[in-house]
């Protein structure tokens, strides 16, 4: 007599037959992850054209909400000690390094590069956070001064953050370029509204998850995904945006700079041939600072 056959449930589905769960990513505003108020999203494809996920298609209303969140966070962030800001940026580097494999996979998909090149780009992005963490409590000594004057006065100049900076992330470097434009803005006490690379937004939304789980206060960095051409003119002319980084603005940079002139914004023009792997120096740190000069009589 044949022995009964044990049944432990349905046979497992071969991995080759399983459909991957495709995410629809949200925005990152004020430390939270809301959907776009418009309810829109757009497909994100790999370098080879394969569908990877859906990203929120931010609207002008989302951009206004991002600016409001950045303004609300500015007072607390700029009021922290420079040393504490450096600690928090270093913590971001720690958290990002813990997700290196995910970042590398997203870069490989987005740019069509090999695993070794993707891992090197992620390591460079982590190092870029550490670099700016180290400068957070040092740029003031380099860019400030005690000025010699003719008279019975002390005269001191000190750099202070500009305020809310709208950052258009580079289209050609969706991770290292992204970190290279965000880190100097917030290291100096500014807050940021970032428009992610339109073609390859996944490194930016993964970075948003890293920021949300680090010690960075909500609203210091706000990340929008969507059409740069739709969001950029609104941010460039927004009266509560104090400065623009046009790194990823492309052919629209001149028009955006013209729009920014109506409210006297600081504008950092795009480099026509950027090398994001080069030593960043302190030019970006300096660009979004204002110099305050104080006169004080001697003996009083």
Domain that holds residue 254: 25-34+54-297
In a domain, 220, yes or no: yes
In a domain, 4, yes or no: no
- CA–CA distance, 78 with 242 (Å, rounded to integer): 14
The pairing of strands 145-146 and 51-56 is: unpaired
Indicate the pLDDT class of residue 84, thresholds 50, 70 and 90: very high
CATH number of domain containing 286: 3.40.605.10
What tens digit of pLDDT does each residue of 114-146 get? Answer: 999 999 999 999 999 999 999 999 999 999 878
What tens digit of pLDDT does each residue of 232-268 get? Answer: 999 999 999 999 999 999 999 999 999 999 998 999 9
Using only the alpha carbons of the chain, give its radius of gyration.
23
In a domain, 42, yes or no: no
In a domain, 78, yes or no: yes
In a domain, 283, yes or no: yes
Residue 273 has pLDDT above 80, yes or no: yes
Contact present, 107 and 174 (Cβ < 8 Å): yes
In the DSSP assignment, the letter for residue 263 is G
In a domain, 233, yes or no: yes
In the DSSP assignment, the letter for residue 2 is P
In a domain, 106, yes or no: yes
pTM: 0.90
State phi, psi for 161 to the nearest 5 degrees.
-65, 145
In a domain, 40, yes or no: no
Domains: count for the chain? 1
């Amino acid at each position: 007599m044949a022995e009964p056959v044990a049944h432990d449930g349905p046979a497992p589905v071969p991995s080759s037959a399983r459909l991957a769960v495709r995410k629809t990513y949200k925005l990152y505003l004020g430390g939270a992850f809301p959907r776009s108020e418009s309810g829109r999203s757009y497909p994100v494809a790999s370098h080879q054209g394969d569908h990877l996920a859906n990203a929120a298609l931010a609207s002008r209303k989302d951009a206004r909400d991002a600016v409001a969140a950045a303004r609300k966070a500015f007072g607390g962030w700029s009021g922290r000690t420079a040393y504490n800001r450096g600690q928090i940026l270093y913590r971001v580097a720690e958290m990002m390094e813990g997700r290196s494999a995910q970042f590398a996979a997203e870069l490989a998909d987005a740019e069509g590069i090999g695993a070794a090149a993707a891992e090197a780009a992620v390591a460079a992005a982590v190092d870029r956070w550490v670099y700016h963490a180290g400068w957070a409590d040092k740029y003031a000594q380099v860019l400030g001064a005690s000025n010699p004057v003719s008279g019975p006065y002390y005269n001191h100049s000190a750099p202070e953050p500009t305020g809310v900076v709208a950052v258009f992330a580079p289209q050609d470097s969706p991770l290292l370029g992204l970190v290279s434009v965000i880190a100097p803005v917030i290291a100096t006490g500014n807050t940021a509204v970032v428009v992610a690379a339109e073609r390859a937004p996944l490194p930016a939304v993964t970075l948003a998850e890293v920021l949300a789980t680090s010690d960075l206060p909500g609203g210091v960095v706000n990340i929008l995904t969507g059409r740069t051409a739709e969001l950029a003119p609104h941010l460039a002319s927004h009266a509560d945006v104090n400065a623009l980084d046009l790194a990823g603005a492309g052919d629209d940079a001149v028009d955006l700079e013209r729009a920014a002139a109506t409210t006297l914004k600081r504008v950092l023009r795009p480099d026509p041939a950027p090398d994001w792997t080069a030593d960043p120096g302190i030019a970006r740190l300096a660009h979004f600072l204002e110099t305050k000069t104080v006169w004080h009589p001697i003996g009083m």
